[in-house]
Amino acid sequence: MIGFRLYSLVMDGQWTVEPEELPDGSLRAPDDVVYRRTPRRVTRRIGNEVLAAGAIVVTDVYPEGLTFHVGDAADAAWEDVAPRLVSGRRTDAHDIQWVGHLWESDDGRQLMRFDGEH
């Protein structure tokens, strides 16, 4: 099990839950929806489109770990990630870089997961 924080538009702003990482590497979100990684990389254009459709944004970087962002928090996370998103060949990192993939549920819901590299 991986610990993560889920940010939402609730009164207290956030809470910690324990998601289930399934043996096949998929992620079970707090609402019990299972997402599987697709081979499709996230570009800025794709990220803007998917976010506008209401996708969850997941970031994973040391030492914070796996963090789920929804609603306004997803917008804020995307604003932080987008300028440092690497969608082609990776360069030497002088600051954090993000590499993203689209993940999908069986019913077609999308999630963007970004792994941060220092």
pLDDT in tens, 8-59: 333 333 434 445 678 999 998 888 899 999 999 999 999 999 999 999 999 9
Q: What is the mean pLDDT of the chain?
A: 82
Task: Give yes or no for a contact between 57 and 74, defined as CB atoms under 8 angstroms apart.
Answer: yes
The residue-averaged pLDDT of 103-117 equals 95
DSSP code at position 113:
E
pLDDT of residue 107: 96
pLDDT of residue 66: 85
Element containing residue 72 per DSSP (H, E): helix 72-81
Q: Where are the domains of the chain?
A: 29-117
DSSP per-residue codes, 4-64: EEEE-SSTT-EEEE--EE-TTS-EE-TTS-EEEEEEEEP-HHHHHHHHHTT-EEEEEETTT
- Distance between CA 49 and CA 40 in Å, rounded? 14
Q: Is the dihedral of CA 34, 19, 56, 36 positive or negative?
A: negative
pLDDT of residue 9: 38
User: How does residue 93 score in pLDDT terms, banded at 50, 70 and 90?
Assistant: low
User: How does residue 68 score in pLDDT terms, banded at 50, 70 and 90?
Assistant: confident
Closest to 59 in 3D by CA, of 39, 38, 79, 45 = 79
The residue-averaged pLDDT of 75-93 equals 86
Tell me the whole-structure pTM to 2 decimals: 0.80
